[in-house]
């Protein structure tokens, strides 16, 4: 995988921060939870809640916010 990110909490494909569950970036309890837009819309619920409280546009987070694009 090119340009991958390594989580300091992931050990042997398990999350040491979230009860040693299988690592799933963006799951509840993950350091990424509610901070980034994911392709899986189920993981964006917390982000939308945070944006709604702060008065941001929570209806449609930018789906390309975390993607690299080539023009």
Q: Indicate the SS3 state at residue 51.
A: helix
**Would 36 be classed as within a structural domain?**
yes
Q: How far is CA 2 from CA 6, 7, 11, 17, 68, in A?
A: 12, 15, 20, 25, 11
Tally of domains in the chain: 1
**Would 71 be classed as within a structural domain?**
no
Q: Which domain holds residue 38?
A: 10-52
pTM, 2 dp: 0.49
- In tens, the pLDDT along 12-54 reads 999 998 889 998 887 888 888 778 888 888 777 777 888 888 8
- Look at residue 63 and tell me whether its pLDDT is greater than 70: no
pLDDT of residue 50: 80
């Amino acid at each position: 995988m090119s340009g991958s990110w390594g989580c300091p909490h992931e050990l042997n494909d398990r999350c040491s921060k979230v009860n040693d569950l299988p690592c799933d970036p963006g799951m509840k309890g993950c350091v990424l939870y509610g901070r980034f837009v994911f392709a899986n819309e189920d993981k964006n619920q917390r982000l939308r809640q945070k944006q709604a409280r702060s008065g941001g546009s929570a209806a449609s987070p930018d789906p390309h916010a975390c993607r690299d694009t080539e023009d």
